[in-house]
Amino acid sequence: MQSTGLALLSPVTTRINSDIILLYPSHSAQALSKTLESSFLDLFLLKKMKAGALELGSASKGSTPQAGVNRGVSILDFILRIVALVGTLASAIAMGTTSETLPFFTQFIRFRAQYHDLPSFTFFVVANSVVSTYLVLSLALSILHIVRSGAQGTRVVLIFFDAGMLALLTAGASAAAAIVYLAHKGNAKANWFAICQQYNSFCERISASLIGSFAAIVVLVLLVLLSAVALSRR
Amino acid sequence: MEKGDSTTINITSESSKERKGKAPLLAAPVMAATTNTREDGGNKRGIAIFDFVLRLCAMVAALAAAILMGTTDQTLPFFTQFFRFQASYDDLPTFTFFVIANAITSSYLVLSIPFSIVSIVRPHAVGPRLLLIIFDTVMVALTTAAAASAAAIVYLAHKGNSSANWLAICQQYNDFCQSTSGAVVASFIAVVIFVFLVVLSALALRKS
């Protein structure tokens, strides 16, 4: 009996408070050492299993603080989307409803300025309308991300469309900005006359409508950032 | 304080039979997790290499746009006593902005190549990828702004505008118009590549 115990376990030494207690396998000590060994191995097994389970992702993540941060990010994403929607819609409406008719006219020509006289402004109105429609449709996806914080594929889709809409909106806004700058300053070399000197309220209106669009551009950049951060924190 | 406050428990030898009996039960789930991350790493490395190649293409495109616009200069063969008919990029402030913005974009792309290489070497690193996606998004906005405003002016130069009484200068300055149109096209190519770069970084950031 004693020899089998020795084969199982070498002497277990415990040192408590400068007292050295050597447990050699004896009758009762053998049972004690066996229970010690089995309990250590049980702990070891449990730890490994827990680690394996965590790696497989079977543990629920609903109650971790990381999921809470992801949810906060999704809520911020939703709010920013609404802000961008308001900005683009306001810009489209402000540009689309400008019209100024000068008080003097000749027999053949009536001096009127509207947004569709300049193709860049038409493109601006169209781009802002498309982006505001996209933002309305993506609000649904944003709500889905609030409810299910773990969705990854839809976040990548959202980033793709957000980047595409960012490019479209920036193109429209900067093309209109170039024409507005030309309308304010003119160009002596190309013999282009600054029309703002005659069409005052038209100029003010088109300049102000650029603001909402550029604010929406900044918000779209932030949206892409937020989605990227939420993806990487998963 | 007493001398030995520690507890030392040594279990030194365990028979090999017992070790063999316990290990395979634990090995299976742990092994599955490591092969998944290894496959993932291979995917992410492929995405990072594609990202690197696209970055080089975008750098070439942006540099070409800046150089093409910056070196156009056309002097018409006729001139009056006081006036010389000359067109270059700094006559129009929009074209100046175009040259500067494309120069910024191409230098950013040169500086971002080390980060791209880091994400090839270490596929699971999140930091460089996140940095790249943030700056790539900002560069999308900047490059699109430059390209689109220059495109608006080039369109105006080609067509003119009767309502505003703006003459189409391309009818006289042919070469100038051609070079500026080519530069705008190159810049738009760089914009499309940037959008792809953003989507690639987003794909690589996923943790599956």
**DSSP codes, A29-50:** HHHHHHHHHHHHHHHHHHHHHH
pLDDT of residue B25: 55
Amino acid sitting at position A80:
L
pLDDT of residue A20: 46
- Picking from A183, A224, A232, the nearest residue to B137 by CB comes out as A224
% pLDDT > 70, chain A? 69
pLDDT of residue B105: 96
pLDDT of residue B34: 61
When pLDDT is cut at 50, 70 and 90, the band that residue B81 belongs to is low
* pLDDT tops 70 at residue A31: no
When pLDDT is cut at 50, 70 and 90, the band that residue B4 belongs to is low
* pLDDT tops 90 at residue A38: no
* pLDDT tops 90 at residue A210: yes
Q: Name residue, tokens 């365990």.
A: B14
When pLDDT is cut at 50, 70 and 90, the band that residue B167 belongs to is confident
pLDDT of residue B86: 74
Contact A228 B206 (CB under 8 A): no
When pLDDT is cut at 50, 70 and 90, the band that residue B23 belongs to is low
pLDDT of residue A105: 61
Phi, psi of A118 (to 5 degrees): -115, 120
Mean pLDDT of A198-217: 89
Chain A interface mutation, best of B7, B43, B149, B155, highest count of A Cβ atoms under 10 Å: B149
pLDDT of residue B48: 92
| Alpha-carbon span B155 to B166, nearest angstrom | 12
pLDDT of residue A53: 44
pLDDT of residue A18: 45
Q: State pLDDT tens for residues A86-116.
A: 999 999 999 988 877 776 666 556 667 788 8
| Alpha-carbon span A42 to A46, nearest angstrom | 6
Instruction: Give yes or no for A126 touching B (CB within 8 A).
Output: no
Mean pLDDT of A115-142: 93
Please say whether the beta carbons of A86 and B63 come within 8 A. Answer: no
* pLDDT tops 60 at residue A21: no
| Alpha-carbon span A162 to A152, nearest angstrom | 15
* pLDDT tops 70 at residue B31: no
Contacts of A183 in chain B (CB under 8 A): 164
* pLDDT tops 50 at residue B19: yes
List Cα–Cα distances, B25 to A56, B78, B117, in angstroms: 15, 91, 40
pLDDT of residue B63: 96
Tokens of A6: 């020795």
Give me the residues of A, 163-192, that contact B with CB < 8 A.
Answer: 163-164, 166-167, 170-179, 181-183, 185, 187, 189-192
Mean pLDDT of A142-164: 88
List Cα–Cα distances, A218 to A24, A49, A80, A157, A227, in angstroms: 74, 47, 10, 20, 15
| Alpha-carbon span A132 to A81, nearest angstrom | 10
% pLDDT > 70, chain B? 78
Distance from CA of B28 to the nearest CA of A (A): 9
- Picking from B22, B94, B130, the nearest residue to A178 by CB comes out as B94
pLDDT of residue A110: 61
Question: ipTM of this model?
Answer: 0.79
Would the pTM of this model clear 0.90, i.e. be above it? no
* pLDDT tops 90 at residue A122: yes
Contact A170 B205 (CB under 8 A): no
Please say whether the beta carbons of A202 and A91 come within 8 A. Answer: no
Chain A interface mutation, best of B194, B199, B205, highest count of A Cβ atoms under 10 Å: B205
| Alpha-carbon span A26 to A188, nearest angstrom | 108
| Alpha-carbon span B112 to A68, nearest angstrom | 33
pLDDT of residue A132: 95
pLDDT of residue A13: 46
Instruction: Give yes or no for A159 touching B (CB within 8 A).
Output: yes
Distance from CA of A146 to the nearest CA of B (A): 18
Q: Which of A203, A215, A181 is nearest to B96 (CA)?
A: A181
pLDDT of residue A4: 46
- Picking from A12, A14, A118, the nearest residue to B161 by CB comes out as A118
Q: Average pLDDT of chain A?
A: 77
